[in-house]
Amino acid sequence: MQLVASRWFRLVLVTMLVLSLQTTLLSEVRFFGYSVQLMAIFVAVAGSVHDVRVGAIVGLVSGFMYDAVLATPLGISALVLGAAGAGTAVVLQTFREPTWWLRILVVSVAAALSEILLPLTKAVVGLGGWLSPRMFAVSLVTFMGGLVFSAPLIPISRWTLREQVSLGRR
C-alpha cells in the first residue's frame, strides 16, 4: 500500500497517460501540420511547480518512457527532457512568487526550447536528418500548445508529485 501512495508511482501512471495522449490523439491532431509535444509541456510544468531535483527526475522518467516508444536511442529524450524540467525550475526559482501567467510563459518557452534541443542532441550522437527548419515550426507549435495545455497540467502535476496522499482511514 505504501508503493501506491508513492509520488513516484503516481508519476509513472500519469506519465503513461500523457504518453498515450501524445502518441495517439496528438499524433493525429496536428496544428499547422505539426503535433504539440505534450510530454515536453508536462515535464516543464512539473519543473515549474516543484524544485530542480523533481523537475530533472520527472524529465528523466518521462524521457526514458518516451524513448521506449520512439525509434531513437534510449536516453536522448531523457537527457533533453531532464534538462527542460530542471531548467524550468531554475528559471522560476529566481522569482519569489511567480504569477500564473509568468509560470505559463516560462513553461511554454522551456518546452519550445526542448524541441529545438532534441534534434540538436540527435545530430550530436550521429542521427542524421533531424536538423532542418522544421524544428523551429515544431518549437513554435509546442510554444502555442504550452500556452493552452500548461494551465490544466499544473494541478495535475501538483497532485501527482505531492509528498503524501491519504488512503482512507488511519
Question: Which residues 6+ apart lie within 8 Å of 42 measured at CB?
Answer: 15, 18, 58, 62, 153, 157
User: Could you say which residues of the chain have pLDDT below 50?
Assistant: 170
3-state SS of 3-26? CCCCHHHHHHHHHHHHHHHHHCHH
What domain range includes position 24?
A: 7-28+35-160
Residue 166 lies in a domain: no
Question: Which residues 6+ apart lie within 8 Å of 92 measured at CB?
Answer: 47, 48, 98, 102, 103, 106
pLDDT of 48: 93
Domains: count for the chain: 1
Residue 15 lies in a domain: yes
- pTM comes to 0.89
Cα 18-65-2 angle, rounded to 5 deg:
80
| β-bridge partners, 34 | 31
Residue 45 lies in a domain: yes
Report the C-alpha gap between 53 and 61 in whole angstroms.
12
Residue 20 lies in a domain: yes
Residue 16 lies in a domain: yes
pLDDT of 166: 57
Residue 154 lies in a domain: yes
pLDDT of 107: 95
Residue 167 lies in a domain: no
What pLDDT digit, counting tens, does each position of 87-105 carry? Answer: 999 999 998 888 999 999 9
pLDDT of 41: 95
Grid cell at residue 29: 491532431
Q: In this structure, what DSSP letter does residue 33 have?
A: T
pLDDT of 71: 82
